Amino acid sequence: MITPQLDISGSRLHRAFPLLVLTGLVGCASPLDTDHDDVRTIQEQLGTIHVLDEDRGLTGGKTLKSLINEINDNDIEAKDRLALESRLARIAVLAKIGESMDITLLETRRQTLQNNLSIQAVLLDPAIAKQAVRLQQSKFESTFDLSVTQSRTVISIPPTQASPEQTGEADQFIAVPSVNVPLRSGGNLSVDWTTSTGLQSSSGGGSTSNAAVRPGVSITQPILRNAGYDYNESSIVIAQAGEARAEAATQYSILSTLLQAETAYWNLYRAAEILKVQKDIFDYTKKTLDDTRTQVNAGYGSISSVYNFEVTLSNSVSRLLSAEDALAIAVRSLKSTIQDPELSLDGSVAIVPSTKPVLRTFDFNKTLLVDAAVRNRADLLGLEAAQIERTIEVLAAKNQLLPELDFIGRYNLNGFDATGRSLPTARRDIFNGTAITNPSGFSIGVTASVPLGNEAANANYQSALFSRLQAIANTRQREVMIATEVLDAIDNLQFGWQQILVARYEVAAANRNLEAMKTLFQMGERTSTDLANAINLLALARINSVSQDSSYQIALANLAAATGCLLGHAGVEWRDTSRLDLLENPQALSPPLPYDVADVPPAEANPKKTDPESSDASTPATPATNDD
């Protein structure tokens, strides 16, 4: 086997080396090329709005007409109506399949603070702002610089009548190590130790050499423009104010997210309680229908009453299904807020709120609450930090109105070895020689620059003044808005308490009305429509009472948030809650259920036959009421 070889010797090497480098660069995959491919893939997915069909998870089922035909076919005889009612009962008692988990309001806050990705993302803003402060502080860091130069110069002297052509070479080596120290007053201090050697030779055979060592110190100090600690450290204070503004925005965002979690929690409480009400109403309506049908079969009562209660029962099932759907949405809303990675967003795990509402009155000192809000509100603190930034910018812009006047000074020591190239000899010559052989050097001076008109600096100064006035106006406006929010929250809370009292009275009146209508209906003095209306009135009253309870809790949370606080017995320390793993590692949902929750569970595919009348016998005669 003959292996081909590449001859890159001599001049071919110079031609082949750039080609090899170019080939290596082309052969390496660039990260930017991958990004280009990702962008191209995204663009390919755009441009067409697709149809939601079976390929995307939507499959058609039975039509409404076929379902109506089934109902009509089963509704020919009375026994078929009983079968339909049994189906309605099956729908009514259907619960979401899966486990249930109790959760308190305190646990909701903790989980939200720990897992919510929007909070974890906003927690990075103060860290980013802190790096901006470090960046500004680093401008006063000292630097070590080194410059090394080796040069050769060819000298050619043309021939003359007196001398032939002469050539020569001059070699020179220069090394300049230095340390530069930025001064907080705006100047710069530089200390260097310049060393150099030189050798000059000619074609005549003569040569000269020398060595020199020149340590020195130089300073540049602005006197007017760019001078002073206040101007040169202003950028650091501005960055620190920006960090405070970022922390204020982070705290405000966290408080808003926690308020969203509390609102979702009490909305879940409302949905769960409404579902209980609808179940009680269904049980009561089913019991009333069964009792009325028994009376008609016994020979007294009107068949129209049976039909009327059948319609009422169907409406009750419809409202029960709506309440169950609202509960599922409320559970998912709370899950999406707390974002526990162990809880899937589907219905496999139901969350049950275990914290009871706080139903009590409060006394409000409006002046103290408004003052507390002005002190605590993070958004107002952020505006105050922005106002500090604008004030410092005014001071910095005012400094730029001054003319530029800088002091420049340098002092250096000189050591030489004119008879050789010995750097140690040159260094000793700095301190052992006389003022004649190695005199010290120095230079002082000033530079000035005065703009004619100074329009740019004046414009920047006026702009900084207007920005500061704008920041002051924004701060004052936010104070007015905060006071308004606090007072509105107090009024809403007081109004909510009055609504709770009215709702309790309404529930009691609706219960009395239902008992009276039930008695009069059994005596034949009221129609079934009157009794059905009384049942619906009680359902509406109980739902309204539950809604007022949850609205009162949300109003309490809104009042606390309006003052920049949270309800509870302990505050929230959010600075140490950052979890970068939630942002770096993708979160996977738990697998969904392998069957539809509206279907009969696999374990109950062949349930044992039970007597529907036996289960109804244990139902209460009157729906339970909420008397918290």
Per-residue model confidence (pLDDT) at position 415: 84
Per-residue model confidence (pLDDT) at position 374: 87
Q: Please say whether the beta carbons of 140 and 184 come within 8 A.
A: yes
Per-residue model confidence (pLDDT) at position 31: 63
Confidence of residue 49 (pLDDT cuts 50, 70, 90): very low
Residue whose token pair is 């609450």: 369
- Mean pLDDT on 413-431: 81
- Mean pLDDT on 166-188: 90
Per-residue model confidence (pLDDT) at position 570: 53
pLDDT at 59 over 50: no
Say which CATH topology domain 81-130+241-385+473-616 has.
Answer: Outer membrane efflux proteins (OEP) (1.20.1600)
The helices-and-strands tally (H runs, E runs) of the chain is 17, 9
- Reduced to 3 states (helix: H, G, I; strand: E, B; else coil), residue 569 is coil
Distance CA(628)–CA(619), nearest Å, equals: 22
pTM of this structure: 0.72
The 8-class DSSP code of residue 421 comes to -
pLDDT tens sequence across 507-519: 999 999 999 998 8
Better-predicted residue by pLDDT, 316 or 344: 316
- Reduced to 3 states (helix: H, G, I; strand: E, B; else coil), residue 146 is strand
pLDDT at 13 over 70: no
- Mean pLDDT on 9-15: 45
Q: Please say whether the beta carbons of 125 and 249 come within 8 A.
A: yes
pLDDT at 351 over 70: yes
Confidence of residue 483 (pLDDT cuts 50, 70, 90): very high
Per-residue model confidence (pLDDT) at position 402: 92
Q: Please say whether the beta carbons of 612 and 89 come within 8 A.
A: yes
pLDDT tens sequence across 547-575: 999 999 999 889 888 888 877 645 566 66
pLDDT at 530 over 80: yes
Taking the CA atoms of 503, 505, 508 and 514 in sequence, report the sign of the dihedral they define: negative
List the domain boundaries for the chain: 81-130+241-385+473-616
Point out the least confidently predicted range of 46-50, 228-232, 266-270.
Answer: 46-50
Report the mean per-residue pLDDT for the chain.
77
Confidence of residue 522 (pLDDT cuts 50, 70, 90): confident
Per-residue model confidence (pLDDT) at position 81: 53
Confidence of residue 266 (pLDDT cuts 50, 70, 90): very high
Per-residue model confidence (pLDDT) at position 217: 94
Distance CA(415)–CA(427), nearest Å, equals: 6
Residues with Cβ within 8 Å of residue 322, at least 6 apart in sequence:
none
pLDDT at 543 over 90: yes
Confidence of residue 584 (pLDDT cuts 50, 70, 90): very low
- Mean pLDDT on 298-306: 81
Q: How many CA atoms lie within 13 A of 574 on its CB side?
A: 28
pLDDT tens sequence across 423-475: 888 888 887 754 445 678 889 999 999 988 889 999 999 999 999 999 999 99
pLDDT at 500 over 60: yes
Distance CA(599)–CA(405), nearest Å, equals: 86
Confidence of residue 481 (pLDDT cuts 50, 70, 90): very high
Better-predicted residue by pLDDT, 15 or 574: 574
Point out the least confidently predicted range of 31-40, 138-147, 346-355, 451-460.
Answer: 31-40
Per-residue model confidence (pLDDT) at position 566: 78
Which stretch, 207-211, 451-455, 535-539, has highest mean pLDDT?
535-539
Q: Distance between alpha carbon 356 and the CA centroid of its chain, in Å?
A: 30
Per-residue model confidence (pLDDT) at position 210: 87
Confidence of residue 78 (pLDDT cuts 50, 70, 90): low
Percent of the chain with pLDDT over 70: 72
Per-residue model confidence (pLDDT) at position 428: 82
